[in-house]
Chains A and B, each alone.
Chain A
Amino acid sequence: MKTEWMVMAILLAVLLFRLGRGLAQSTLLSLVQLLLLLSTALSLTGDSTTPLFGGMYLNGPLAAFQKSVLLFAAWMISLLFSDWQRESSHLSEYLILLLSSLLGMCFMVSSGNLLMLYLSLELATIPMAAAANLDLGRKRSSEGAMKLILSSAFSSGVLLFGISWVYGTTGSLDFGVIAKGIDGSPLQTLAFMFLFAAFAFKMSAVPFHLWTADVYQGSPMPVTAYLSVVSKGSMAFVLVNLLHGMFRSMSGAWYHLLMVVVLATLVVGNLFALRQQDIKRFLAFSSIAQVGFILLGMTGVRPLGPSAVTYFVLIYILSNLAAFGVAALVSARTGIEDIPSYKGLAKSNPFLAWMMALSLFSLAGIPPTAGFFAKMFLIVEGAWQGDYWFVVAAAINIAVSLYYYMRIVRLLFSEPEKSIPTLVPAPSERLGLLVCAVGMVLAGLLSWIYDHISTLN
């Protein structure tokens, strides 16, 4: 439980500073950045694996690593969006909300009981709805928060309904006991569907994705990034554990279900992303398509599934956060949010343009960035199971996504129409972008990163 303790400690520290009003905004931010870095590093050193609270809380090596990934992502967010964070009038509230949600996610990844799962899921979600409202002056922000909380309430209802049926048919809330009692009866199938839908909703898989666009567009940029990257990543971790753990015996059924959802998600995500002109909406919709790939990784029936997903999420976090980071910086300094205005960014801001290009390359899956290996690997997994039609469909989607990612890269390096002023990233932003860039290149090239993840399972 080391990771959770550390998150709680940081949370408590921010809360105390808030009460005492003793710290300047930027000092507080730097402190949190430092603490998050420290706890990421510490969490990587391993954690005890004894079950706690009578099996409510389980911690394995893979779960511990997944939590490190989440902490790392939170650290990145605190670095990358320092423009918005420093100017926000509610920095400490924002940090408290972010950290509470992070805490919820950590518990969620480690939960061994449906009750625990539900509670931590709520802890992970509700603070984000509040955080979405943090651009207090903008009505869109409030609208987004409202929609998020309403939709989440709906999905929680569905989840609880599913949980109650699981409990009704197996007589237990404990993952281990449930796994033994799952026999694929119609009632359990429907219960599974409800559980699946709730997570698919959080990951904004099609057809449960409709809330995404409004919420993402309304929320402040760091919250959007957090929702679309970190939150989705943690949900993916939990879902893959559920699929490969509790519902393993039903894998024949959910395999095909996933196929349908993956295809729908890829197609819809891509078709929408194709038409977006607003960089934030674009990233949000392309992240729906990326979720399709994460779900594709879950179809691996072989024991590899969870590690493959963890690896993909790590790369997804690195690539997406870098893109969001650049977009946030440009938007905060110049107000540019529509894609055509990025034309010629490379001329005045080569560093930012290269970072953006690198992350788009990675998202598009072009070698030698990490995204290539992740996608290649997922497709090979699919091919291994002999579903060629499916692989073809996924590959066509990759080709389509290439088109829209490359469209932006081309814009970045075209001759500018209006000159964009030279923007100097703050040291923390520069550090964050560089870490993402190094990660994007190395996570693919260094084989031991994947090897390490696959030994954890």
Chain B
Amino acid sequence: MPDTTYLYLIPFLPLAGFACLGLFGRRFPGQTSGWLATACIAVSAAMALSTAFGYFSDWGREGGGYASLQPIDVPWLVFTEELAIHLGVLLDPISVMMICIVTFVSLMVHVYSLGYLKGADRLPTYFAFLGLFTFSMLGLVMSSNLFQMYICWELVGVSSFLLIGFYFSSPAAVAASKKAFIVTRFADLGFLIGILILGEGADSYDFLTIIERLTATMDPNYAAVMAPTFLGFSVIGWGLGLVFIGGMGKSAMFPLHIWLPDAMEGPTPVSALIHAATMVVAGVFLVARLFPVYAVSVPELLSWVTLIGVFSALFAAVIACTQTDIKRVLAYSTMSQIGFMMFALGVSGYGGEAGLGYMASQFHLFTHALFKALLFLCAGAVIHAVHSNELKDMGGLRHRLPVTHACFLIACLAIAGLPPLAGFFSKEEILLAAYQRNHTVFYLALATSGLTAFYMFRLYFNIFWGQGGATGHHGHGEGGGFMMVPLVILSMGAIGAGFVPFGQFVTSDRLPLETHLHLGFSIAPVALGLAGIGLAALLYRKPSPLPGQIASRLGAVYETVYDRFYVDELYQFVTKQVVFRCIGAPAAWVDRHVVNGLVDFTGNTALKLSETVKGLQSGRVQQYALVFLCGLLLLGLLLMYIF
């Protein structure tokens, strides 16, 4: 193995960019800040790609498969002997793949932003935040232990919060950033507690050690964590379940998905980077990281993963068919595709042929990052041209935006799963994995895949075909070269990524897995995809009254779907009626009656008297002393008779 200590530079270069722009950003004239940030990330990306090349072709090989290496491992906060937080880098196929995706997509987004945000206010801040995000995300995927991952996990959340709220003068953006922060925060609470449980169960926070100890049936830790505890679940079941809740929050799985569509208030390149390609797959990555423990110790938890994944996939796809905001459609489509990745993990076993789902899920993560980033960047170009997110303002753009049109079409075909584009291969593997395990899941996935083709092409025809929208003739044409180059590069990825022999590189047990394409098996998904596209073409290619008629025929059903099954309203209801009523109101009551009560009570009469008199004669000090004494006696009784 060559000297890989340079690895720490991959995350730290974007961080250096962040620090530099954060501190001195204002002094940089014009676009300089963007160039600096782009240069940092370009070097990172080059290093990440060369690391990947070296790892997969040379020094990462070990006994026919790939090794899990820890080239950097520094004890950092040594609290006690058992409890120490290390800083380290864990290199294995998934982390190597992730650093490539993150740095590459981030680089594309940086370049694109140079054109997209040209002349905008607060450019240095924007690029600084992008750098912070890239650093945190890289730190997250390279972490060698749960604590480091948690720290980066939180930082990713913070930078996402900052970037969603970047247009802070828009109230919607501020509300969305808050929502994203709060929802994921509460999910992270699960993650944190899960970490603590896992850490205690394995007596370590290190991934490799945890996996080693909690999957070996002979290990004393294993026996201890398998014993049933609270509510009949084992310790490890609780730990992994809570960790999965953290993953659900970040990956926008039902029912914690409500923040993702709103997060689209952020700048479009940010949506491409954070809310499509990288951060939102953190949950998938997390499950994949701990996958051996899931698969060996609590396989029943994987059924939950499957259930939540497949449900989220279908649920989001149905909603995506009705939305009219281009970015929201893409957001639901992201949620749906992550659902695919999740249930692929859920139906997977550990090792050998059974691990097909794991491989498929990571493969889909890889291809999805490329074509979904492409879709968002194209959407950005469209929004740039028409200054609106609404489909009704678009239409007939294929002549005005030829490059964007071509790229968007490629991405749509890829996500619809048509051969020979990237999405076809990865989705095919997922469907095959589902078919081998569970036929119900397979049919649901198949239906979702048909829906995917339909709603993506609904979007495509609405934007690029039909008639020009209301504001269609006032906007400008294609963005400059900075916006076009990333589109073209990513489209090449969306075309070619499927031909990567992924099973050779990334598998559950790190040994190569031979994958075969079954031509017969592919017929159904491809046919369904084509049918979806055909239907979309029929309905939306030319202006027609049909879609409206169908919507009104469906009536309440359509309304329900359009309003996203009222999940947001349900949350509103729960927070407003239950949380505020049951917790907030009593708190307010205590506040009003215990602290302010006497002021109000005596205050009104005493107001006419002087302030001093009120202050000294209100009797509050005596009351304080009384509370003091009662509390003392109560605690004393507790102490004597209960503890």
Could you list which residues of chain A lie within 8 angstroms of chain B, going by C-beta atoms?
139-140, 142-143, 146-147, 150-151, 154-155, 158, 186, 189-190, 192-194, 196-197, 201, 206-208, 210-211, 213-214, 252-257, 260-261, 271-272, 274-275, 302, 304, 366-368, 372-373, 376-377, 379-380, 383-384, 386, 388, 391-392, 395-396, 399, 402-403, 406, 410, 413-415, 447, 450-451, 454
Does A253 lie within 8 Å of B588, measured CB to CB? no
Does B196 lie within 8 Å of A380, measured CB to CB? yes
Report the minimal beta-carbon distance from B199 to chain A, rounded to whole angstroms: 8
Over the window 42-85 of chain B, the binary record of Cβ atoms lying under 8 Å from chain A Cβ atoms (1 yes, 0 no) is 00000000000000000000000000000000011111100100
Chain A to chain B: the 10 pairs with minimum beta-carbon distance, closest first: A207-B631, A143-B615, A256-B643, A210-B624, A271-B587, A383-B196, A193-B636, A367-B151, A197-B632, A253-B643
Does A158 lie within 8 Å of B640, measured CB to CB? no
Does A275 lie within 8 Å of B591, measured CB to CB? yes
Ordered by A's residue number, 11 sampled pairs between the chains whose C-beta atoms are within 8 Å are A147-B621, A150-B625, A201-B628, A207-B635, A213-B595, A256-B642, A368-B151, A388-B196, A395-B189, A415-B168, A447-B76
Does A253 lie within 8 Å of B612, measured CB to CB? no
Q: How distant is the Cα of A269 from the Cα of B627 in the complex, in angstroms?
A: 16
With A147-B621, A271-B587 known as contacts, the answer to whether A257 contacts B189 (CB < 8 A) is: no
Does B151 lie within 8 Å of A380, measured CB to CB? no
Nearest chain B residue, comparing its CB with the CB of A212: B624
Is B5 at the interface (CB under 8 A from chain A)? no
Q: How distant is the Cα of A189 from the Cα of B154 in the complex, in angstroms?
A: 43
With A139-B612, A197-B632, A275-B588 known as contacts, the answer to whether A210 contacts B627 (CB < 8 A) is: yes
Partner of A197, one of B169, B178, B185, B628: B628
Is B182 at the interface (CB under 8 A from chain A)? yes
Nearest chain B residue, comparing its CB with the CB of A276: B591
Does A413 lie within 8 Å of B168, measured CB to CB? yes
Partner of B181, one of A142, A406, A413: A406
Residues in B571-599 with C-beta less than 8 Å from chain A? 587-588, 590-591, 595
Does B186 lie within 8 Å of A194, measured CB to CB? no
Does B83 lie within 8 Å of A384, measured CB to CB? yes
Q: Write out the residue numbers on chain A whose beta carbons fall within 8 Å of the beta carbon of B182.
A: 403
Is B550 at the interface (CB under 8 A from chain A)? no
Nearest chain A residue, comparing its CB with the CB of B152: A367
Does B174 lie within 8 Å of A410, measured CB to CB? yes
Does B590 lie within 8 Å of A271, measured CB to CB? yes
Report the minimal beta-carbon distance from A22 to chain B, rounded to whole angstroms: 37
Is B401 at the interface (CB under 8 A from chain A)? no
Residues in B614-643 with C-beta less than 8 Å from chain A? 615-616, 620-621, 623-625, 627-628, 630-632, 634-636, 638-640, 642-643
Partner of B196, one of A150, A201, A210, A391: A391
Nearest chain B residue, comparing its CB with the CB of A445: B76
Is B193 at the interface (CB under 8 A from chain A)? yes
Total contacting residues, chain B, CB less than 8 A: 55
Residues in B162-215 with C-beta less than 8 Å from chain A? 165, 168-169, 174, 178, 181-182, 185-186, 189, 192-193, 196-197, 199-200
Could you list which residues of chain B lie within 8 angstroms of chain A, going by C-beta atoms?
75-80, 83, 147, 151, 154-155, 158, 165, 168-169, 174, 178, 181-182, 185-186, 189, 192-193, 196-197, 199-200, 587-588, 590-591, 595, 611-612, 615-616, 620-621, 623-625, 627-628, 630-632, 634-636, 638-640, 642-643
Q: Write out the residue numbers on chain A whose beta carbons fall within 8 Å of the beta carbon of B620.
A: 147, 214
Partner of B628, one of A208, A252, A261, A275: A208
Report the minimal beta-carbon distance from B128 to chain A, rounded to whole angstroms: 13
Q: Write out the residue numbers on chain A whose beta carbons fall within 8 Å of the beta carbon of B76.
A: 447
Nearest chain A residue, comparing its CB with the CB of B80: A304
Partner of A402, one of B185, B627, B640: B185
Q: How distant is the Cα of A295 from the Cα of B311 in the complex, in angstroms?
A: 44
Q: How distant is the Cα of A151 from the Cα of B628 in the complex, in angstroms?
A: 9
Partner of B78, one of A186, A302, A451: A451
Partner of B193, one of A206, A368, A392: A392
Q: How distant is the Cα of A261 from the Cα of B643 in the complex, in angstroms?
A: 13
Does B185 lie within 8 Å of A151, measured CB to CB? no
Q: How distant is the Cα of A71 from the Cα of B543 in the complex, in angstroms?
A: 77
Q: Write out the residue numbers on chain A whose beta carbons fall within 8 Å of the beta carbon of B612.
A: 139, 142-143
Q: Write out the residue numbers on chain B whose beta carbons fall within 8 Å of the beta carbon of A142.
A: 612
With A380-B196, A383-B200, A450-B79 known as contacts, the answer to whether A367 contacts B639 (CB < 8 A) is: no
Does B151 lie within 8 Å of A372, measured CB to CB? yes
Q: How distant is the Cα of A413 from the Cα of B129 in the complex, in angstroms?
A: 14
Does B639 lie within 8 Å of A257, measured CB to CB? yes
Q: How distant is the Cα of A208 from the Cα of B147 in the complex, in angstroms?
A: 36
Q: How distant is the Cα of A256 from the Cα of B186 in the complex, in angstroms?
A: 27
Does A186 lie within 8 Å of B640, measured CB to CB? yes
Report the minimal beta-carbon distance from A182 to chain B, rounded to whole angstroms: 14
Does A447 lie within 8 Å of B77, measured CB to CB? yes
With A304-B80, A383-B200, A402-B185 known as contacts, the answer to whether A395 contacts B192 (CB < 8 A) is: yes
Most chain-B Cβ atoms within 10 A of its Cβ — which of A186, A190, A207?
Answer: A207
Does A140 lie within 8 Å of B185, measured CB to CB? no
Q: How distant is the Cα of A410 from the Cα of B600 in the complex, in angstroms?
A: 32
With A146-B616, A366-B158, A379-B196 known as contacts, the answer to whether A207 contacts B79 (CB < 8 A) is: no
